Amino acid sequence: MDYTYEFCWSTEWSDAVLNCADRIQPNIIFIPDYDPDVRRNMFTNSKWDLLRKSFCPVLIARPGASSHRKVILAALNIRTENPKYIEMNEKILADGRKQVEIYGAELYVINSYKDSMHYPDREQLLKFTGLPTENVHLGEGDPADVIAEYADEINADVVIIGTMHRTGAAALMRGNTSEKVLRKVKQDVVTLS
């Protein structure tokens, strides 16, 4: 496998990373996470800028996370008709399948829902993923809690989530689902935008 690195000094590090990525067209961008006790300060505007604007996956490497890649968990939101979310689900599933192929891993999918009134169509989810029923999990509750708990339950090595590209005031919003998931899970996380 070939690796490339580049040193750059910039006051806007996320722009420098995105410009470099635009030039060299990487398959993935790796960024480090911090000690979990410091994680509350992890989400600077620059980091969110990188996660939301990157054309390729960004892997957030957690200290102490497993270096194995045998169990991959993809977090989907199947209860939507929004084309942007449908496209994001397709990206997440495609990346999960790619990691399964590369690492010889097993793929699991999770879809959380708020309450019984928002229960997703399990048959639709099974058909969409093409996975056996034991690899597809539905969980009621806050998505961040459901995803983090299931990731621990199946001993996931990596969790794949999506982040939507936002602009203007929406880009400054905090507390979105992706941010909550990133705060809760202990595993390495791949973000797609």
Question: Looking at residue 41, what is its pLDDT?
Answer: 47
Question: Looking at residue 175, what is its pLDDT?
Answer: 52
**Distance between CA 32 and CA 62 in Å, rounded?**
6
Band (37; pLDDT cuts 50, 70, 90): low
Residue 182 lies inside a defined structural domain of this protein: yes
Q: Are 190 and 161 in contact (CB under 8 A)?
A: yes
Domain encompassing residue 124: 13-193
50, pLDDT greater than 50: yes
Mean pLDDT (the chain, rounded) = 87
Question: Looking at residue 42, what is its pLDDT?
Answer: 59
Tokens of 30: 């790796």
Q: CB 136: neighbour CB atoms within 10 A? A: 20
- 94: enclosing H helix or E strand: helix 83-103
What predicted TM-score, i.e. pTM, was given to this entire model?
A: 0.88
Residue 8 lies inside a defined structural domain of this protein: no
pLDDT tens-place string over residues 126-174:
999 999 999 999 999 999 999 999 999 999 999 999 987 655 544 445 5
Identify which of 46, 54, 59, 50 has the alpha carbon closest to the alpha carbon of residue 22. 54
pLDDT tens-place string over residues 65-124:
888 899 999 999 987 788 888 999 999 999 999 999 999 999 999 999 888 888 888 899
Q: Who wins on pLDDT, 139 or 4?
A: 139
Residue 2 lies inside a defined structural domain of this protein: no
CATH of the domain at 178: 3.40.50.12370
Residue 127 lies inside a defined structural domain of this protein: yes
Q: CB 192: neighbour CB atoms within 10 A? A: 19
The number of folded domains in the chain is: 1
8, pLDDT greater than 60: yes
Residue 37 lies inside a defined structural domain of this protein: yes
Residue 34 lies inside a defined structural domain of this protein: yes
Question: Looking at residue 166, what is its pLDDT?
Answer: 54
Write the DSSP assignment of 126-175 as a string of letters: HHHH---GGGEEEEES-HHHHHHHHHHHTT-SEEEEE-----HHHHT---
Write the DSSP assignment of 51-64 as a string of letters: HHH-SS-EEEEPTT
1, pLDDT greater than 60: yes
Residue 58 lies inside a defined structural domain of this protein: yes
Tokens of 61: 């490497």
Give the angle 48-53-55 at the CA atoms, nearest 5°. Answer: 135
In DSSP terms, 137 is beta-bridged to: 110
Residue 71 lies inside a defined structural domain of this protein: yes
